[in-house]
Structures are given as structure tokens and as C-alpha cells.
Amino acid sequence: LLHVQFYCTCNLMCKIAIITSSGYAKMLGNRLKIRVLSDETINKIAAGEVIENPASVVKELVENAIDAGASEIRVEMRGGGLQLIRVADNGSGMNQDEALLCWERHATSKIRSAEDLLRLQTMGFRGEALASIASISKVTLLTSQGDIGTKIEIEGGRLLQTVSAARARGTTIEVRSLFYNIPARKKFQKSAAITGAEIRRAVAMISLAYPEIAFSLFDGEREALSLLPSQSFLHRASDVLGEDFCKNTHPLQSEQFQGFVGHALQNRSNRSGQYLFINRRFLTSSSISYAVKDGFATRIAETRFPIYLLFLTLSPESFDVNVHPQKKEVRFQDEMALKQKIREAVRQALNEQSVTYTPQFTFFPNEEMGTISPCEKIDFPRLLMKEPVLFEEKPHFFGLFCHYLLLEEEGKLALVDLVAARARIAFEQMTQENEKVQKQGLLFPITFELGALEAREVLALLELLDEIGIAIRPFGDNAFIVDALIPFIEEASIPQVIVEMIHELEGFALEEKRRESARILSSKLQHGKKSFVLQEAIALYEALKKIPSHAFCPRGKKTIIRLDSHDIKKRLFEKA
Ligand SMILES: Nc1ncnc2c1ncn2[C@@H]1O[C@H](COP(=O)(O)OP(=O)(O)OP(=O)(O)O)[C@@H](O)[C@H]1O
Ligand SMILES: [Mg+2]
């Protein structure tokens, strides 16, 4: 209950002391337009800010488990988290009183006063998450400190029962029927496939900063993520983001900055490859993103974004996470100085490696080609070609190796990546004004269903999809059928590619949408068939030749590399 002492003084003559605000409101009956909201309503409103989707629930519960000192966290979901989310940890657990108190708004064990916010060592501090979650779902808590455990059931913020129950030390929180009592919010949730993917991403992001904790994620019975404890950030990053993401990168090594920036060729068209952690908290910050990009200077094109995994360690008082309801953004005390330091750290990291990466020409940037050992200094100016390289009139073709065409060009040995070339050519066709890409009819048309919102977005894109090579039409309520496709695309991936497109295209102007969707679709061609006959390969090479800026595929990977005898000699003299 609110205990508000409210004094109203009128001309010093009348003085009314009202003990509770609700009492005051009652006394004045319905004459007042302004009312104090009930706790239940207050919690639901706060939940609207803290809990945006099922992934926010998972984030809050996993963060609580980390704060409780867990070394093992298991997450389960059903129906993309809307049906069920269960998070179990082996952390400190709670005694019965704490187990009851933790559901109260502003109940927290993590801070005692506002000053503690300046010394924050925990992920949580507001005491809002559990109250918010409980007000909009059906919750069961099972917790124990190693002795008698407690089981509590809450529905829509109302306590249903408390009983003693057995459990090893730790806590399990089960959240069922999320948003069941706020239909408007429920209606705007994305499909289970997407909310499930958001949960996977949420767990993956948190896990990157806590390699010493074992994480597992189950989607129904299926294990979607399984991470063993490790002492190294890099190890965990490679498990979560993939080896390719972490390969050939430039490490950042200082007390304040850890992690790495990718090499210039790993750039992307958006910020999807940028992972920032401050004091082990996953955050987004456009100013840090700009600072890293500045560190790359002219190494990458203006419209592209470098990839990075950056762990900053800052003193808690030098930044504020209390500026965003889900703690996803930060404000810095001295942003200018921090940006300057990051720029410098990135610049140094890029310079320390002797391998010179440029978007135009790189020695051996490609994974398949191996890398040059970092201690070797090589003088590259001759190789750094700024202009697109012109093809020779009559090249001499040597043959094929894997999916590379080998030929002699301008006295150099050239290797054409045929898969990348195919994607580049397709991209060019897809973006030609007033032209449609050639499609192949499918023996078995693909049908799929989407959420109402996504379906609406796809309906608006039917013509564009047809132009870039996906013949698609509506097929009943929120369902679609695809009966012809651009060749070399994996048919089963089409529904997912379309969903990815509608999300990526958000915010793009109409004229940019075609280019962007072409980039997404053509980059999927890289997964298509990888065996070629010589004639086919030569035809691809000839087609590539006609494109003015043919040096890169739509993903920014090179389509062709050239080695002269000097380069080959270098390789031969390289120590084993
Ligand atoms: N898994 C857990 N193990 C042990 N104690 C927990 C666990 N989850 C929550 N608690 C206790 O319940 C309290 C309330 O949790 P809640 O997430 O609502 O708030 P918070 O973590 O303190 O702050 P925030 O709202 O910023 O997350 C915590 O402060 C903690 O003491
Ligand atoms: Mg919390």
C-alpha cells in the first residue's frame, strides 16, 4: 500500500492530512479526473517497457541466474517462448521469505541506495524484472538454498500458492502463457519461429560475455544451443559466432579493451556483425560503432560496416545503463575521450598485423588460401590496386580446381571464384531496371504460412520478389506459394530468406529495397552447387567480365585474385 502523507493548505485556514492516496480518491468520489493507478495496472505498464517480447523474459531470467552466481544455466522454450519459458540455474537460490519478496516491484538484493548505482557489479539493479514478468504471465518458482526449497505459483501478478518443495541448490522459474492478459501486446508478437530465434540470439549474446558458465537452450525437445564452460572469450566466440567470424581478425589487447575487429574484407552492409559488451553487458551504441569504423579509416567503403567483438571494461561510474528500460543502451560520462581511445586501439590493432587488407586487393585474405604469419613485413604497394582491374582480351585458361577457374591474365595467375562470380552476376541481373530475372519452374512448389504482420509485408513485396527471381503469390490466409525460382538457390531455405528480407528491408526507401533484397538473395546463391565444367566456368568468367565493378561478390568477398611470380616466390620462401 502507498503511504502518502498529503497536506493541502488553503489560505492557511484548512489543513487536511490524508493518509493514503486511495483513501483521498475515495473521499472525493468520482469528482476527480486524476486517479492513482492500482499496483496491478502499474506493474502491467512497467512490464510493457521491460518485457517487449519472449526474448526479454529470457534475458532477465538469465541475468538473474548470472547474478546468483550460477555456473550452469539451462533455458527451455516452447512455442517461441509464448507458450513456455523455463530457466533453471545452480546459483545461490532463495529462502522462503526472499522467494515471496522477489515478486514485489522495487524489491532487489542488488542495491541499497542510489549511490550503489555508481558501483554496480551486477546485471540487475531495479528490482523490476520479476514483478513485470509475473504481472503478464503465469509463473512458477522453485528455489532452494540447498535445504528445504520453496515453490510459488503466481498468475497475472496474484499469488496462488506457496508450498515447501524439494530442489537442489538453485532456482527454476517457469513462465507460461506470456501476455495472456494483454491481448493487444500478444497480437503484435511475431511468429513463433522469429520469437524463438530472438531467444536463441538473446542467450547467445549473454553467453559470449560469460564463457565460464555452461549454457544450454532447448526448443521443445530439440537442443538448440549447448555451450560448455571455457576460460577463453575467443573459444566461446568461436562456438557461438562461428569459426569464420573469428578467423583472420585483429585482436585488441589492452586492459580496457579486449576482443577483436574483423579484417576489412569481412565488412557487412549493416551492423549485424558488431558485438559490444561493457562490463560484460551486451549493449548497442552507435557512437562506439562509429569510433571503430573511424579506426578503419579508408580501409572499408563508407557504406559498409566492420565486424567486431568488443569487450570494454569501464569503471561503473563512467557510464549509465539506467537510460533504457531494457538496459540495451548506455550513456557515457566522457564519450569523446572514450571514442578517441577506441579509434586509437582499432588503428593499432590493424597496424600491428603485417597483413595489409584493402577492399581492392589482398594478398591471402581468404581462409582457403591460408594467411601470412603476423611477424612478417611485406611491401605491398604494387599489389594495392585502387581501380577495378581490366581483363585481358584473350586470356589463357588452365582449367578448374575445386570451384576456381585458373587462367593467365596480364602475366599473372588469376583464380576466379566461380561461386562468388555466379552470385555477382545474379546480383547484377536482379538490380537491372525494368528487367526480370530468369526463373526455373519448380517440380514441387513451396508453400508456407507466415504471421499476419509478416504476411502483410510480403503482400507488399510480391512484385519486387518476382523481379529478383522468386515467383510468389498468395495462397489463402497468410499463406503463400512459390512455383518458380532463380536457379542455384536452396529451395527449402526460401521461406526463411523471405522472412529475413522483410526484416532487413525495414526502413529502406522503395528504390533501395530492390538492391538490398537482391543482395540478400544473391548471397544465398553461394550455397548452391559448387561443381562446374570448364565451358560453364568460362561462360561465367565472360559474363563477369562485362560487369564494370566485378571485383567483389554481393557479400563483399573477392570474385578473383591474381598472383604474379613475385607473390608465388614469396609463398615458396615462406618458412614451413
Ligand atoms: N535466479 C535467481 N537466483 C537467486 N535469486 C534471484 C534469482 N532471480 C531473482 N532473484 C532475486 O530476486 C530479486 C528480484 O529480481 P529482479 O530480476 O526482479 O530484480 P533485480 O535483478 O534485482 O533487478 P532488475 O529489475 O534490474 O533485473 C533479485 O534482486 C534477487 O535477489
Ligand atoms: Mg533481474
pLDDT digits (tens, 9 = 90+) for 479-496: 999 989 998 888 888 998
Most confident of 35-39, 225-229, 318-322, 521-525: 225-229
- Residue 26 is predicted with a pLDDT of 57
Q: Is the CB–ligand 1 distance for residue 109 below 6 Å?
A: yes
More confident residue, 321 or 170: 170
Q: How far is the CA of 64 from the centre of ligand 2 (A)?
A: 5
Taking the CB of residue 78, how many other CB atoms lie within 10 A of it?
17
- The band of 363, judged by pLDDT with boundaries at 50, 70 and 90, is very low
Exposure pattern of 527-540 as b/e (b: 16+ CB <10 Å)? eeeeebeeeebbeb
Task: Return the minimum-mean-pLDDT range out of 148-152, 327-331, 352-356.
Answer: 352-356
Q: Residue 355 pLDDT > 60, yes or no?
A: no
Q: What is the mean pLDDT of residues 39-62?
A: 89
103 in ligand 1 pocket by Cβ < 6 Å? no
The alpha carbon of 93 and the centre of ligand 2 are apart by a number of angstroms equal to 14
pLDDT in tens, 276-288: 999 999 999 999 9
Q: Which residue has the higher pLDDT, 234 or 379?
A: 234
Residue 158: predicted pLDDT: 94
Ligand 1 site-directed mutation target among 43, 49, 59, 64, most atoms within 8 Å of CB: 64
- Report the percentage of the chain scoring pLDDT > 90: 43
CA of 386 to the centre of ligand 2 (A): 52
Q: Choose between 121 and 218: higher pLDDT.
A: 218
Say which DSSP state 388 is in. Answer: P
More confident residue, 447 or 301: 447
Q: Tell me if 110 CB under 6 Å of ligand 1.
A: yes
pLDDT of residue 247: 83
Confidence of residue 78 (pLDDT cuts 50, 70, 90): very high
pLDDT, position 330: 86
List Cα–Cα distances, 378 to 356, 386, 566, in angstroms.
Answer: 9, 18, 12
Any ligand 1 atom below 6 A from CB of 91: yes
pLDDT of residue 332 exceeding 80, the answer is: yes
Classify residue 14 by burial, with Cβ atoms within 10 Å: 0-12, 13-18, 19+: exposed
Give the count of beta carbons closer than 10 Å to the beta carbon of residue 315: 11
Find the mean pLDDT for residues 426-440. Answer: 84
Ligand 1 test: best mutation among 56, 62, 73, 102, most atoms within 8 Å of CB?
A: 102
> Is the pLDDT reported for residue 382 higher than 50?
no
In this structure, how many other beta carbons lie within 10 angstroms of the beta carbon of residue 333? 12
| CA 56 to ligand 2 center in whole angstroms | 11
**How much is the pLDDT for 29?**
55
pLDDT digits (tens, 9 = 90+) for 194-226: 899 899 999 999 999 999 999 999 999 999 899
Amino acid at 446: I
Global pTM value: 0.62
pLDDT at 9 over 60: no
The confidence score (pLDDT) of residue 30 equals 62
Residue 6 has pLDDT above 80, yes or no: no
Beta strands in 79-204 (DSSP E): 84-89, 138-144, 149-155, 158-165, 170-176
pLDDT at res. 274: 93
Q: Name the grid cell of 413.
A: 595467375
| Minimum-distance ligand 1 atom for the alpha carbon of 170 | 3
Q: Calculate mean pLDDT across residues 344-366.
A: 52
- Write the CB contacts of 451 (distance below 8 Å, at least 6 apart in sequence): 190, 191, 194, 478
Q: Is the CB of 129 under 6 A from ligand 1?
A: yes
Q: Which ligand is nearest to the CA of 327?
A: 1
In the predicted structure, residue 167 carries a pLDDT above the cut 90: yes
Choosing from 130, 141, 150, 322 the residue with most ligand 1 atoms within 8 A of its CB, the one to mutate for a pocket test is 130
64 close to ligand 1 (CB < 6 Angstrom): yes
Give distance in angstroms: CA of 497 to centre of ligand 1.
38
Instruction: Determine phi and psi for 121, rounding to 5 degrees.
Output: -115, -5
Instruction: Answer whether 304 contacts ligand 1 (Cβ < 6 A).
Output: no
* Ligand 2: centre distance to CA 42 (Å): 18
> Quick check: CB of 88 below 6 Å from ligand 1?
no
Mean pLDDT of all residues in 438-443: 85
| Residue 3 alpha carbon to ligand 1 centre in Å | 25
How far is the centre of ligand 2, averaged over its atoms, from the C-alpha of 68 (Å)?
10
- Provide, rounded to the nearest whole percent, the portion of the chain with pLDDT above 70: 87
Cell numbers that stand for 130 in this block: 520479476
The number of the ligand 1 atom at minimal distance from the alpha carbon of 173 is 1
Closest residue CA from atom 28 of ligand 1: 108
Mean pLDDT for 39-53 is 84
Q: How many CB atoms lie within 10 A of CB 46?
A: 19
- 405 CA distance to ligand 2 middle (Å): 56
Residue with the bigger pLDDT between 367 and 171: it is 171
Q: What is the pLDDT of residue 49?
A: 81
Q: For the chain, how are helix, strand and coil distributed in percent, rounded to 5?
A: 40, 25, 35
Q: DSSP assignment of 31-63, as one string?
A: G-S--PPPHHHHHHHHHHHH-SSHHHHHHHHHH
Is residue 239's pLDDT more than 60?
A: yes
Using left for φ > 0, alpha for ψ between -120 and 50, and beta otherwise, residue 279 falls in left
Atom of ligand 1 nearest to the CA of 327: 26
124: CA distance to ligand 2 center in Å? 4
DSSP H or E run through 130: helix 129-135
User: With left for phi above 0 and alpha for psi between -120 and 50, is residue 40 left, alpha or beta?
Assistant: alpha
Cell numbers for 355: 597483413
Rounded-to-integer distance, Cα 233 and Cα 433, Å: 46
Cell 553467453 -> residue: 207
Residue 468: name the closest of 505, 517, 526 by CA.
Answer: 517
Is the Cβ–Cβ distance between 339 and 290 less than 8 Å?
yes
Q: Report the mean per-residue pLDDT for the chain.
A: 83
CA distance linking residue 114 with residue 119, whole number of Å: 10
Question: What average pLDDT does the segment 213-240 reach?
Answer: 91
Least confident of 21-35, 239-253, 317-331, 435-449: 21-35
- Angle between helix 192-209 and helix 54-67 axes, rounded to 10 deg: 20
